[in-house]
Structure 1
């Protein structure tokens, strides 16, 4: 439940408002039980004298309406199913995915044997080239299909 100023009511909220007598009874009971109602603070802030009888007078006079909780649920349209049957079948029986084997190489300087850290290189795997960068230890991580025939690497800028 929430209280809404009559000037700010939407058509949807008007459809879900309590009748005046019921609204008055709900608000009276909430005030007696010291229960919070959304919008009550705004109503009290608009009053010249902030007392319970003034709050009840605003509800009784129709300046403030008590709206049912259902109004906040909205007029939701039911969503379409997330997946059609073909997608569900693919999820149950996914196609075989090609596997890739990790290949790890440590690239070092041929003279000093120091790791070639953070350097770009060009890796060619069975004729397909990709540009990569070594990590801080000079390690080159490549992922290649299981049946790869040839891998070559060329350091860029050295």
Structure 2
């Protein structure tokens, strides 16, 4: 079953036929985690780098921010049987959709993600980030395959 992960949203699954998908990954980060032994995976579509930007919003919706969303994503998969030490972690997005910009959200999102993962003794195994295009990301729960569509190209992470 196709399960859509919206902006500032997260889904986890252990159902063999499920496909998690998120659309319109511009400066946002799409993050997948997968445990092959447990057959459990999840996806996060986070918009902002750090919950300290707006602590009240992070309490309302932790998936809006990378730091709080990552913790919820890992916890959700662990509750379904995944083990933190077996997680395969992949990311897409973090584009610079405008040619110039003071905030550089895509760049900040990627830095925040790698920093948050490092703080948890985790690392990305693969990623497709940067550039100026919007991406679609899919996670196949049956085998952990992650596909990214970027400007008409399909990339397997």
Q: TM-score, normalised by structure 1?
A: 0.19
Q: Which one has the largest radius of gyration?
A: 1
Q: Which has the higher strand share?
A: 2
Q: TM-score, normalised by structure 2?
A: 0.19
